[in-house]
Amino acid sequence: MKDFILPPKDDRDMGTPASRSATMVTLKIDGFDVTVPEGTSVMRASAEAGIQVPKLCATDSLEAFGSCRLCVVEIEGRRGTPASCTTPVAEGMVVHTQSSKVRKIRKGVMELYISDHPLDCLTCSANGDCELQDMAGAVGLRDVRYEAVETHFQPRQNGEANPNYIPKDDSNPYFTYDPAKCIVCSRCVRACEEVQGTFALTITGSGFDSRVSAGAAGDDFMSSDCVSCGACVQACPTATLQEKSVIELGTPERSVITTCAYCGVGCSFKAELNGDQLVRMVPYKHGKANQGHSCVKGRFAYGYASHTDRILNPMIRDRIDQPWREVTWEEAIGFTATRLRDIQAKHGKQAIGGITSSRCTNEETYLVQKMIRAVFGNNNTDTCARVCHSPTGYGLRTTFGTSAGTQDFDSVEHTDVVIVIGANPTDGHPVFASRLKKRLRQGAKLIVIDPRRIDLVKSAHIAASHHLPLRPGTNVAVLTSIAHVIVTEGLADEDFIRTRCDWTEFADYAEFVSDPRHAPEATELLTGVPATELRAAARLFATGGNGSIYYGLGVTEHSQGSTTVMAIANLAMMTGNLGRPGVGVNPLRGQNNVQGACDMGSFPHELPGYRHVSDDATRAVFEKLWGVTIDAEPGLRIPNMLDAAVEGTFKGLYIQGEDILQSDPDTKHVSAGLAAMECVIVQDLFLNETANYAHVFLPGSTFLEKDGTFTNAERRINRVRRVMAPRNGYADWEVTLMLANAMGAGWTYTHPAQIMDEIAATTPSFAGVSYEMLEEKGSVQWPCNEKAPEGTPIMHVDGFVRGRGRFITTEYVATEERTGPRFPLLLTTGRILSQYNVGAQTRRTENVAWHPEDVLEIHPHDAEVRGVKQGDWVRLASRAGETSLRAHLTDRVSPGVVYTTFHHPVTQANVITTDHSDWATNCPEYKVTAVQVALSNGPSEWQRDYAAQAEQSRRILPAAE
């Protein structure tokens, strides 16, 4: 199969953003007729006609600013020389972009810039990739007539230290700021404001004294508010803001479009390389999810791919107390296949299973579940999506009929009121957060429902209208109260409900929520949310125009996770907020391919496309193609597998790209389950925590090393393209293929495109998807089939997938996990921007500069009564276990609530979390654990034991020759 060649996409900088107007205007530029939407700048119109007007301060990701005056043109009938970037087109306009007058002006402008710029182009890191250089060429600058007396770039001038000279700031691990090369075009400042929305940069001073400055006086980039998204680096026309990797490795010469492997936003990137040396990742401006933006993880944190910790050779051992032995792929695969078949012979077909990865591609996930169903012969497949978004699947399927978010990310541009519940987008889904913040700055209203005062509640130029700081575990009570207000105050959208939903079910639901016990005044005591705030928030959502709801793991990871998802769906239906841009129910997915892993049949009860294994027709489709009989019974879910292992009926587990020991709740239970198995196979990049209990380690490959697709939170199928050869020798799908074939599968795939063809042939919502079509369209949102050949940006437009929308009664049931005298505080967990999930990748990059360890956020009041001061080591104990970490005092959390992240294995926050789980899906209740906090003097005994065990089991014997 030949590799696909990318069609050339127009990557030119058009100077100013595209206009969205539907009214077209025709004008003449340099004698050519050009027709563009009203509101387009003369600069962009020229670019459309293939004419590049010289420019420095304009770039098409930012609003025009008009400061450099390099882009001047002449317009017939107008006086002077207007700047083309700030001049909108008009019907019949006649523009000349070249005349002796404008040429002279442009040369003069360039002369001024160049006279205050070091002329060390040959050794400059931006050589060949510098707009200042390009423009000097474009305007025909041949000499600089005056020598500046005062400059910004010379460390010494006129014999003494130059007070205008500011040395390079290389505090950020990924890029440098070299003020000597700055032309003060303010593109960086505007990018930080308009694109990222952080407002970390300002221009201080004016005229000759104006400088770019990060944070306040005395700050450098690292100590400022900068979140290292790279937008400013991207916008900078010179070498002033420059990736350190480019400084080190030189300008890249080729590029491949691919998709970020970190979070569910699914940003598109241009991987830029020299040969097979990755030089930098640049956000791709035609990426539909990110539109040229990125966050610190996708843009910079790819160093893990070449980290020395990566394991590149397969390893095996008979028992987990032995050191690892490096072996050939052949031996490792043979050993594994034999062991798994032996287990099945001894303990039955059902004694083994596998876990698919939300980090791997759709094709890889599909193959793992196929191996389990067709080769293992059972349905014991699950995915770590179990521990994050399984309630989304259950809840949205029950109410709307499909297990996915209803919108595309573009939808946020049309929203008027946003509810963010149980999500922290600025940290978890940064690029989406930037798009949301942009809309908020344009005036959309925000309601935050979260126990913590997350950044969105208040940060530069945005503030939530309402923050409902609920007690962890009371989501259902709060949402039901909001519904109570909407129904009892007559704010429900009756028309929508009558035409789109089941009216009798609504009537039942309305009666249920109208009960005075659901009134905010009644629930206030329980939820801690002031009734007046809740009422105001409910009214705002019901009456404020297009209402959208975005939610995350703070919704799903509860014992009532599925109920909460249904309460959210109810809220959207009763306010008529579905089926058009600007509205909808939007789960923010954690890992990059959570959506895809769910779509691809990772769950033990569902074949690809969310079809139950007991459905004869669906099984028949796969049985015919695969030539096997598929078990009609649901298989074991991860927690059930571990239970069965402890019980002795489950003995072998193949884990692709997951670290269940660190990511799953109740670590001790997980380790007991793993320890009870006879063959644990871990396929990963690093010796992860789970590998401490493994008998086989199969090296995995990174997203840079394989072809495939990821599906992001908006159901968008994005291509992942091989940028370099797998360092371990095989892409993950090839490893699965080898194992399956060693167990007798007889598979013949030679390229992931063939796997996608099989998915399309078997799964109706993917029927129209193929690599050819993805090459052509870039990406597509499923369902994509005969009914929707272009894909489906917005779902449920004319009717719900299930027909009529269903209202489900949402009674609040308190979690079993209660505070009491021994455990008086509630712990909730989350993540932070620079780290990702269990941190296996990000911990192996410079991102540790931002998050060297997990800390416990605790309210100063709770800290004081315990004698805890900022930075103290504290013991965090729950009914399940205890760990130690440092305390951080903050009023972001309410009294009675503590918060931590789970990015570092030494902290093992999941030693603390219990095995309570969602009633419908067993999604663990990470977000509520009753705990106690006390001063301690260092790591707990458990942490020390754990570290010792980990070290013991990570020993590797040198390869036998």
Partner 1 sequence: MTASPAEKLVAMANQIATFFDTQPGDPAEGIAKHINEFWEPRMREGLLAHAATTTADLRPSVIAALPHIRRARQTA
Is the separation of the CB atoms in 366 and 601 below 8 Å? yes
Please tell me the distance from the alpha carbon of residue 775 to that of residue 773, in angstroms, as a whole number. Answer: 5
Residues 302-341 that bind ligand SF4 (CB under 6 A): none
Please tell me the distance from the alpha carbon of residue 192 to that of residue 194, in angstroms, as a whole number. Answer: 6
Minimum distance of ligand FES from residue 135's CB (angstroms) = 10
Minimum distance of partner 1 from residue 348's CB (angstroms) = 4
Looking at the Cβ atoms of 358 and 564, the one nearer to ligand SF4 is: 358
439 binds partner 1 per the rule CB under 8 A: no
User: What is the H or E stretch that residue 887 is in?
Assistant: strand 882-889
Cβ burial of 248 (10 Å; 0-12, 13-18, 19+) is exposed
Neighbours of 691 (CB within 10 A): 27
Looking at the Cβ atoms of 169 and 857, the one nearer to ligand SF4 is: 169
Minimum distance of ligand SF4 from residue 588's CB (angstroms) = 10
**Which residue carries 């149980």 as its tokens?**
422
The three-class DSSP label of residue 936 is coil
**Which residue carries 């007007």 as its tokens?**
53
Please tell me the distance from the alpha carbon of residue 310 to that of residue 304, in angstroms, as a whole number. Answer: 8
Closest-by-Cβ residue to ligand SF4 is 298
Minimum distance of ligand SF4 from residue 736's CB (angstroms) = 25
Minimum distance of partner 1 from residue 679's CB (angstroms) = 18
Among 40, 84, 133, 238, binds ligand SF4 (CB under 6 A): 238
Applying CB under 6 A, which part among 232-240, 681-689, 713-721, 947-955 lies near ligand SF4? 232-240
**Which residue carries 């009938």 as its tokens?**
77
Site string for ligand SF4, 281-300 (x = CB under 6 A): ---------x---xx-xx--
Applying CB under 6 A, which part among 225-233, 446-454, 473-481, 821-829 lies near ligand SF4? 225-233
Please tell me the distance from the alpha carbon of residue 326 to that of residue 320, in angstroms, as a whole number. Answer: 14
Is the separation of the CB atoms in 715 and 405 below 8 Å? yes
Please tell me the distance from the alpha carbon of residue 168 to that of residue 221, in angstroms, as a whole number. Answer: 11
819 binds ligand FES per the rule CB under 6 A: no
Q: Give the number of C-alpha atoms closer than 13 A to the C-alpha of residue 746, restricted to the C-beta side.
A: 4
Minimum distance of ligand FES from residue 241's CB (angstroms) = 18
Minimum distance of ligand SF4 from residue 740's CB (angstroms) = 30
Site string for partner 1, 590-619 (x = CB under 8 A): --------------xx------x-x-----
Please tell me the distance from the alpha carbon of residue 94 to that of residue 76, in angstroms, as a whole number. Answer: 6
- Residue among 917, 911, 931, 787 nearest 857 (CA): 931
* Residue 412 per-residue DSSP state: G
Looking at the Cβ atoms of 326 and 666, the one nearer to partner 1 is: 666
Residues 25-84 that bind ligand FES (CB under 6 A): 55-58, 66-71, 83
Number of residues near partner 1 (by CB under 8 A): 43
Structural Rg of the chain based on CA atoms: 29
236 binds ligand FES per the rule CB under 6 A: no
Looking at the Cβ atoms of 272 and 382, the one nearer to partner 1 is: 382
Please tell me the distance from the alpha carbon of residue 660 to that of residue 838, in angstroms, as a whole number. Answer: 10
718 binds ligand SF4 per the rule CB under 6 A: no
Phi, psi of 50 (to 5 degrees): 85, 10
> Which letter, b or e, does each residue of 877-909 get, where b requires 16 or more Cβ atoms within 10 Å of its Cβ?
bbebbbbbbebbbbebbbebbbbbbbbbbebbb
517 binds partner 1 per the rule CB under 8 A: no
Choose the contact partner of 230 out of ligand FES, partner 1, ligand SF4, none; CB within 5 to 8 A by kind: ligand SF4
Question: Dihedral through CA 874, CA 475, CA 891, CA 296, nearest 10?
Answer: 80
Among 84, 380, 402, 779, binds partner 1 (CB under 8 A): 380
449 binds ligand SF4 per the rule CB under 6 A: no
Minimum distance of partner 1 from residue 755's CB (angstroms) = 27
- Residue among 23, 65, 57 nearest 40 (CA): 23
Please tell me the distance from the alpha carbon of residue 245 to that of residue 125, in angstroms, as a whole number. Answer: 10
Site string for partner 1, 633-672 (x = CB under 8 A): xxxxx--x--xx-xx-x----------------x-xx--x
Residues 382-441 that bind ligand SF4 (CB under 6 A): 430-431
Phi, psi of 147 (to 5 degrees): -100, 125
Residues in the chain: 961
Looking at the Cβ atoms of 187 and 715, the one nearer to ligand SF4 is: 187
Please tell me the distance from the alpha carbon of residue 481 to that of residue 522, in angstroms, as a whole number. Answer: 9
Phi, psi of 154 (to 5 degrees): -90, 125
Choose the contact partner of 647 out of ligand SF4, ligand FES, partner 1, none; CB within 5 to 8 A by kind: partner 1
559 binds partner 1 per the rule CB under 8 A: yes
Choose the contact partner of 614 out of partner 1, ligand FES, ligand SF4, none; CB within 5 to 8 A by kind: partner 1
Choose the contact partner of 238 out of ligand SF4, partner 1, ligand FES, none; CB within 5 to 8 A by kind: ligand SF4
- Residue among 716, 720, 690, 682 nearest 702 (CA): 720
- State how far Cα 776 lies from the chain centre: 24
Among 49, 75, 139, 212, binds ligand SF4 (CB under 6 A): 212
Residues engaged in binding partner 1 (CB under 8 A): 348-350, 378-380, 508, 559, 562-563, 604-605, 612, 614, 631, 633-637, 640, 643-644, 646-647, 649, 666, 668-669, 672, 808-809, 811, 813, 816, 879-880, 914-915, 919-922
Residues engaged in binding ligand FES (CB under 6 A): 55-58, 66-71, 83, 85
Residues engaged in binding ligand SF4 (CB under 6 A): 182-188, 191-192, 196, 198, 200-201, 212, 214, 226-232, 235-238, 240-241, 260, 262-263, 265-267, 290, 294-295, 297-298, 430-431
